[in-house]
């Protein structure tokens, strides 16, 4: 299937990395991938809808129908037979000053030869993007950005100012490349941002934390949305799990600032945690870890290979580095 993903613009590399990690997690056979600004185009075989439902840092995921100049798009639209179905067509210029209505009108007229316009609940939702060429697709998934906004920690019953925004928690889970039916571990679960997002994605989340209040808060929050998740009181350096029990780690450890390490040096904590991950994870499995400084990636033992890192500036004195490692 040829598809394109309309990535969100909140970061220069993280949205693309998230989408590619989701594709890898669902074991799609990726034949090709190219990107221009916020447009990621792929040719892949496998369950694209499942990939689409995972992604947070995007607007739409579309099946690609045709590309070329506007005349080629219109010729394709005139040849389509919608058999009386309802449709909508929306255009967007990527990096161009474009008035969408100048494209939507003529294209809508072409499609209207065999279908009927319904701007609210169409059967066929077409998306025309204009980058270095025109690309027409049928929307297979629209990312629910408002849900991601409404579930941020300030709106949850158990709240502390340490939590990742749900869209970045989701990106972190995707970077861990855990498949949809898999088990993901967050051993520094805090208020449960990562665990809750993994549950919303259909995974089995396991969370743990050394702080009793965090464990009971996350457990209560999870109870409402997932039946088979699990939250335990545990030190991240001494995890009560047998080797191979999880399909990946997605975690946001303390940075040695707001969230306490109870006096332990941050490098010592990371060193202990990475050793515990190494004992737990089988070869080929990923750990996605947010670090406050890219040099902290050196704390990963030789049993981990560095895969990628994406720096996200939070404010003047905090940059979160979304780092990915694979167990070798
Ligand atoms: C940055 S916060 C996690 C934020 C989390 N992503 C959230 O959504 O709330 C780090 C967490 O690590 C926990 N922590 C600190 N040292 C720990 C240790 N040795 N083992 C397990 N958890 C620890 C803290 O209690 C804190 O809840």
Instruction: Please check whether residue 61 is in contact with residue 144, taking contact to mean a CB–CB distance below 8 angstroms.
Output: no
pLDDT digit string (tens) for 174-197? 999 999 989 999 999 999 999 999
- Residue closest via CA to ligand 1's atom 7 equals 163
What is the distance between the alpha carbons of residues 4 and 77, in angstroms, rounded to a whole number? 18
Checking if the pLDDT of 151 tops 80, the result is no
The residue among 103 and 98 whose pLDDT is bigger is 103
pLDDT higher than threshold 80 for residue 45 = yes
Average pLDDT of the chain, as a whole number: 93
Q: Which of 235, 254, 276, 277 to mutate to test the pocket of ligand 1 (most atoms within 8 A of CB)?
A: 254
Ligand 1 pocket at CB < 6 A:
162-164, 187-188, 190-194, 209-211, 214, 235-236, 252-254, 259, 261, 269
Ligand 1 centroid to Cα of residue 254, in Å, is 6
Cα(114)–Cα(88) distance, integer angstroms = 13
Q: What is the dihedral of CA 112, 116, 121, 127, to 10 degrees?
A: -10
**The token pair that represents 39 in the structure block:** 């447009």
pLDDT digits (tens, 9 = 90+) for 251-292: 999 988 755 778 889 999 999 999 999 999 999 999 999 999
pLDDT digits (tens, 9 = 90+) for 211-224: 999 999 999 999 87
- The burial class, CB within 10 Å (0-12 / 13-18 / 19+), for 59 is buried
Looking at residue 105, its pLDDT comes to 96
Proportion of the chain above pLDDT 90, given as a percent:
80
Supply the residue whose CA is at minimum distance from atom 1 of ligand 1. 254
Contact between residue 9 and residue 40 where contact means Cβ atoms under 8 Å apart:
no
Least confident span in 31-40, 130-139, 145-154, 281-290: 145-154
Query: What are the Cα distances from residue 163, in Å, to 9, 139, 159?
Result: 21, 32, 8
CATH of 2-143, one of 3.40.50.300, 3.40.225.10, 3.40.50.880, 3.30.2130.30: 3.30.2130.30
Q: For the segment 124-142, what is each residue's pLDDT rounded down to a tens digit?
A: 999 999 988 999 999 999 9
Q: Ligand 1 pocket check: which of 190, 232, 318 to mutate, most ligand atoms within 8 Å of Cβ? A: 190
Give the nearest ligand 1 atom to 193 CA.
8
* pLDDT number for residue 156: 75
In the chain, DSSP assigns E strands to 2-7, 29-36, 39-45, 58-68, 86-93, 116-117, 124-130, 134-142, 183-186, 204-209, 230-233, 249-251, 286-291, 304-315, 318-327
- Looking at domain 146-327, what is its CATH homologous superfamily? Vaccinia Virus protein VP39 (3.40.50.150)
Are the beta carbons of 103 and 92 closer than 8 angstroms?
no
What residue's CA is closest to ligand 1, atom 13?
Answer: 188
Can you give the pLDDT at residue 194? 97
DSSP SS3 for 207: strand
Query: Domain residue spans in the chain?
Result: 2-143, 146-327
Structure-token pair, residue 104: 């939507």
Ligand 1 pocket test: pick from 184, 234, 241, 253 the residue with the most ligand atoms within 8 Å of its Cβ: 253
Q: Give residue 259's pLDDT.
A: 58
Please give the helix or strand (H or E) that residue 102 lies within, else none: helix 101-111
283 alpha-carbon distance from chain centroid:
23
């Amino acid at each position: 299937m040829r598809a394109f993903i309309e990535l969100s613009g909140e970061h220069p590399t993280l949205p693309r990395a998230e989408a590619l990690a989701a594709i890898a997690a669902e074991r799609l056979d990726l034949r090709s991938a190219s990107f221009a600004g916020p447009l990621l185009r792929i040719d892949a075989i496998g369950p694209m809808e499942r990939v689409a439902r995972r992604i947070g840092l995007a607007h739409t995921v579309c099946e690609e129908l045709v590309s070329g100049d506007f005349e080629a798009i219109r010729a394709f639209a005139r040849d389509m037979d919608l058999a009386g179905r309802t449709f909508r067509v929306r255009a967007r210029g990527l990096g161009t000053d474009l008035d969408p209505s100048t494209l939507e009108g003529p294209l809508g007229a072409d499609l209207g030869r065999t279908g009927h316009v319904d701007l609210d609940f169409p059967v066929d939702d077409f998306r025309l993007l204009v980058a270095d060429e025109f690309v027409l697709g049928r929307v297979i998934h629209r990312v629910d950005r408002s849900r991601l906004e409404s579930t941020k920690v300030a709106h949850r019953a158990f709240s502390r100012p340490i939590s990742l925004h749900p869209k970045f928690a989701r990106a972190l889970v995707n970077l861990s490349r855990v498949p949809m039916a898999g088990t993901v571990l967050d051993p520094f679960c805090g208020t449960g941002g990562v665990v809750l997002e993994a549950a919303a994605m259909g995974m089995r989340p396991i969370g743990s934390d050394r702080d009793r209040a965090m464990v009971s808060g996350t457990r209560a929050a999870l109870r409402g949305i997932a039946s088979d998740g699990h939250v335990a009181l545990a030190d991240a350096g001494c995890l009560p799990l047998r080797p191979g029990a999880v399909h990946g780690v997605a975690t946001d450890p303390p940075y040695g600032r707001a969230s306490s390490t109870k006096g332990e040096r941050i490098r010592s904590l990371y060193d202990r945690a990475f050793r515990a991950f190494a004992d737990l994870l089988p070869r080929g499995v990923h750990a996605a870890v947010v670090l406050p400084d890219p040099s902290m990636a050196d704390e990963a033992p030789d049993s981990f290979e560095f895969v990628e890192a994406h720096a996200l500036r939070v404010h003047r004195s905090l940059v979160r580095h979304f780092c990915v490692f694979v167990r070798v």
